[in-house]
Structure 1
Amino acid sequence: MLLKKGQKTDITKNINAEKWIVCLGWESKEEIEIDSAAFLLDISGNCQQDEDFIFYGNTMSITQAVKHSTAPGKDKEQIEIIEKKIPPNIHRIALTLTIHEAEKRDHRFGQIHDAYVRIVNSSDGTELLRFEFGSDLENETAIVTAELYRYNGEWKFNAIGSGFNGGLAALCRNFGLDVSDEEETLPPPLPVTLTKIELTKKESVQIRKSEKITTHLEWTSKKDLDLYCFFVTRDGVEGKVYYKNKGTSTKSPFITLDGDSKNAGRETIHIHRPDQLRYVLFAAYSALSNGIGSFKSMHARAVVENHVGQTVIAPLLEENKYAYWVAIAHIDFTDQSEMKISHVEKYSKNNSEKSPLLYKDGSFKMDVGPEEFKSPSIFNLFGAKK
């Protein structure tokens, strides 16, 4: 069973074995030292004691429910879990990877490829589930790859694959453990709860402002949608990243667009330096040559991830069959530690191809920007528009 990021599946119902073998693997062109670990967490998401942190320096939990070791074959490391020995106060087991001395050696997970976590049958080694992750990581030095969690008396697997900076010290703090004086020299991260939030109409939510933000425009129809990211930089510069200007990660605005999808699926915007921005507005454009139809019927939505375990979904809730543009989500980066994500859902006027505009104060208007023509429309061909 191959899982996607954010997907969950039953373990106790699907895996008929007393022992679960969790295997982790990765590849890299350079010599990068990576360590796996398991954090045994209570209902509040914290380790109650140091012994609940299972890694190369503490390879066995107190009840012998969880054991860390190197792995045979192509896998790099493995964690064995015996369900019946898991104490009742343990509600989650977070499975993680960290880069040893990442800051000193200038190593990042962006240098890693083909990373995965899988569970195999303890008797014959048959692969039972697999989650591949890491293609969206760059400067992160720690990853929560997945977690096992109790639900209604059963155990489930949650594919996470979210990374953040700070290495092992950050993970320990995040899960309620003290770190050594040497590790204390690393910048302390804010507490993070792994969450997924789906916004309701005009709702806003504040999540951690991390070092990288990714936004996906997802849809299910065969129509061609285009993701636009309107921005205002910290210096007050206004602009947009879209299929004609895919941006750059190395200079302002530090925003890039992945490709230009012409079929059902997704387009992705990466914000590489949120600290260099004040505001962004995510909008979608539907080309006339593809016909007119409701964005809602395409199941279009914006999905924002901060790469420290928090995901916000902004769905489209209104029926509007004659708009070429819809503004979906707005992000306010002006707070030092948090960012405010708002569900906006505003449509252009009927048959208007004038784009939205985002202003320096963070406000925006529809139907005031330049017209966009991705491909010649019937109006262009017959001279109705110039």
Structure 2
Amino acid sequence: MEEVLKYFRRISSIIILLVSSVYAATFLMFPVIALIEPFYKKLAFKLQAKIASGWFRLVLFVFEVLNGIEIRYYGEDDIQEGESLIMMMNHPSEIDWLFSFSIAQRKKALSNIKVLLKNEVRFVPGVGWGCDNLDYIFLTRDWTFDENHIEYKINKYKESECKPWLVIFPEGTDIDDVKLKKSWDFAEKNGFPKFNNVLLPRHKGLHACVEPLRDTIDCVYDLTIGYEGKPTILSCISGTSPRVVNIHIKRYSLDEIPKDENQLQKWLFNRYHEKDQMLQYLKENKTYSMPYRIHKPSLSIYASAFLWFYYFMLPITNLLLISSFTRVYFIIAFVYHILNSKYEPLRKLRGLQNAIYSKKEKSH
């Protein structure tokens, strides 16, 4: 019986998150795109963020309540409410960015989360579409394009009067044995340090984010996140892995972040040396070498999950079953988001990427 309940919980978690993300993009975000964004961009920017913050709480309900994931926070520093910041994280898995939501929710900043992600994410139905509508920064691994794209998005945040929580992964990708070997080879070739539990970080992305935001953000938080094993999106949604998430938080004032790129690179290598040691200790002891604290899920997570399920997902599903108009609308919104993720002129028209810079143009 227990195994049946576990299986039911996993299937229900997957269905809830997949369906809710597609519904949010098509029934909540699409009307904002069609009716408000062309005329009031700042208002649309804020509305999309509010919509997303509600869905993020549903994600946290699935992770922390249904699946019972325990999040342990370490370190003397704690993020302060009302701060605007850059959150620098190591990248042990493909799900690390999702746990920035947990921190932001506890600090009443879910509407401010912005993440640098791989370009491929924006093609994912539901979640990817939503991240795109939220002006997350999608990177292509073409630095000529990415550098200008980061600058463009950050300027857009400033124009929208957003106090961003900008989440960045200096490693650029999640770690595995193949990538670690390539990282060692590159480090050895260039005289850089070699690490065992993190990839060699790249300083250019961090520099491109910090410098234009020096007069806007309050600080940089360095987060070291670790698990037992390597969880995936599917294992996380289904509740099989991780069971425990370990997050160490360290605050750095902007005065401590070098402006010079070479000095920033050295500073970043030092931070990742510290991360490497912490993660090695975690691997051997299943905890960091310091006390931790656990924050229980807040009531707002429960309330949001209830509202989303009973007053949004169920009514929308019912309408799709009984109303041909709703089905036609859904198809239109669904197709729109597919086109929006792929059709460059539409992306430029909406301001999702700079009309001057595009990967296609740079290939000529």
TM superposition score normalised by structure 1: 0.26
Bigger helix share: 2
Bigger strand share: 1
Higher-RCO chain (CA-CA 8 Å, sequence separation at least 6): 2
TM superposition score normalised by structure 2: 0.27
